[in-house]
Amino acid sequence: MMRTAVTVLAFSLAAAGAFAQTNPIIAEQKRAYEMNRDNLIKAAEKMPEADYSFKPTPEMQSFGERIAHIAGQIGTCSMLTGERKPNPAAGKTSKADIVAALKASFEACDAAWASMNDKTAMEMMAGRGGQQNSKLGMLIRNTMHDTELYGYIAPYMRLKGVVPPTSDRSGR
């Protein structure tokens, strides 16, 4: 009888541990991040090099500057897992350099998302302006900002005759 109770307890603890690692809120937010990541990388790769300097109006950032701005997320994401890294796209103008910087920033964000669990998600850190935020909250806000920026760059692509990834039904 005692052995059965110990076995049931062991399975219960293992199941609880497995659930803690697959917190549905973290998992859902991570999926949203991954969709945004994939769309932004595809967009950056899809836009021709010549159009990286395109600005819909003179006052606006160029397409390349928008993508370089997104790469700046490396600061937030790397801070969540260790030391804050500078934007690898700073001062870069070529498509190859900017896309490489964007991918590096997403590698840092992938690592930050991989570190999320029930405990780390709720750890508090100083964000912009010194305000205390949960690590998960910082990642969610970063994803929201990435979504906003995808909304900015999609018209740039359309104006240059390039179909944005979320509208491309050709399977590319």
pLDDT digit string (tens) for the chain, length 172 residues: 444 433 433 344 344 444 445 799 999 999 999 999 999 999 999 999 999 999 999 999 999 999 999 999 999 999 999 999 999 999 999 999 999 999 999 999 999 999 999 999 999 999 878 899 999 999 999 999 999 999 999 999 999 999 999 999 886 5
Q: Which CATH number covers residue 34?
A: 1.20.120.450
In a domain, 133, yes or no: yes
In a domain, 16, yes or no: no
The answer to whether residues 30 and 36 touch, using CB atoms and an 8 Å cutoff, is no
Which domain covers residue 75, as residue numbers? 24-167
In a domain, 112, yes or no: yes
Q: Position 128: which residue type?
A: R
> What predicted TM-score, i.e. pTM, was given to this entire model?
0.86
What's the structural domain count of the chain? 1
In a domain, 100, yes or no: yes
In a domain, 4, yes or no: no
In a domain, 147, yes or no: yes
Q: At 161, phi and psi to the nearest 5?
A: 75, 20
Nearest to 33 by CA among 114, 154, 121, 125: 114
Query: Which residue is associated with the tokens 């998960």?
Result: 136
The answer to whether residues 121 and 135 touch, using CB atoms and an 8 Å cutoff, is yes
CA 32 – CA 81 distance, rounded (Å): 20
In a domain, 85, yes or no: yes
In a domain, 61, yes or no: yes
